[in-house]
């Protein structure tokens, strides 16, 4: 097993971040918890690398690996998700499920770093969509729900009217 120091990891992360113009605030911290849900990286004496997210004194995620590629994928899956979310927000299309733009952008960004990472994320997205398919009218339907509520209709009537006008799938 190749051992990487926090400085080694940080150097690699910064180099990769430059390739996709990732904002520095999206990059993890190294060795010190911030307790604000910002990811940080630790390396133990045996060379195992940890990707950790903690907030308000509680650890929400801890992944461990001895492979630098795994660690870098975890880091950049998170970074590119944030970047893709920002991109979607700036380029929102009202009658399209926001995930269409977001997933495509995230895969594009990861593909600039590693085709393997792009493929992994594509598989993740397909898994999500199996249980939660795209719904292009979700946003419009939600707005319509609100308009119907203001008219004082019952929830049953609201649901019937909204899904008739803006069907799922």
Residue 19 token pair = 């390739």
Tens digits of per-residue pLDDT, 44-59? 999 999 999 999 889 8
Q: Is the dihedral of CA 135, 139, 141, 142 positive or negative?
A: positive
Measured distance CA(4)–CA(38) in Å, rounded: 21
Q: What is the band of 29 on the pLDDT scale with cuts at 50, 70, 90? A: very high
CB contact at 8 A, 65 and 71:
yes
Cβ–Cβ contacts within 10 Å for residue 101, how many?
19
pLDDT in the model for residue 106? 98
Tens digits of per-residue pLDDT, 8-17? 999 999 999 9
pLDDT in the model for residue 56? 87
Please check the confidence at residue 87 and state whether its pLDDT lies above 90: yes
Per the DSSP assignment, residues forming a β-bridge with 55 are: 36, 58
The pTM of this model reads: 0.89
pLDDT in the model for residue 33? 80
Please check the confidence at residue 123 and state whether its pLDDT lies above 90: yes
Measured distance CA(145)–CA(164) in Å, rounded: 12
Residues 6+ apart with CB under 8 A from 72: 12, 13, 16, 113, 114, 117
Q: What is the band of 26 on the pLDDT scale with cuts at 50, 70, 90? A: very high
Tens digits of per-residue pLDDT, 127-150? 999 999 999 999 899 999 999 999
Q: What is the band of 32 on the pLDDT scale with cuts at 50, 70, 90? A: confident
Residues 6+ apart with CB under 8 A from 100: 134, 136
């Amino acid at each position: 097993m190749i051992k990487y120091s926090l400085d080694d990891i940080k150097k690699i992360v910064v180099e990769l971040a430059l390739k996709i113009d990732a904002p520095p605030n999206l990059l993890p911290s190294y060795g010190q918890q911030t307790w604000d849900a910002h990811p940080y990286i630790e390396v133990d004496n045996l060379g195992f690398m940890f990707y950790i997210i903690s907030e308000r004194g509680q650890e929400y995620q801890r992944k461990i690996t001895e492979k630098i590629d795994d660690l870098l994928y975890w880091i950049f899956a998170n970074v590119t998700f944030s970047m893709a979310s920002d991109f979607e927000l700036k380029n929102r299309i009202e009658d399209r499920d926001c995930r269409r733009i977001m997933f495509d952008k995230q895969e594009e960004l990861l593909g600039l770093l590693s085709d393997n990472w792009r493929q992994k994320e594509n598989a993740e997205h397909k898994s999500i969509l199996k249980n939660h398919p795209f719904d292009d009218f979700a946003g419009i339907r939600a707005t319509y729900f609100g308009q119907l509520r203001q008219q004082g209709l019952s929830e049953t009537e609201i649901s019937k009217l909204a899904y008739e006008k803006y069907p799922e799938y």
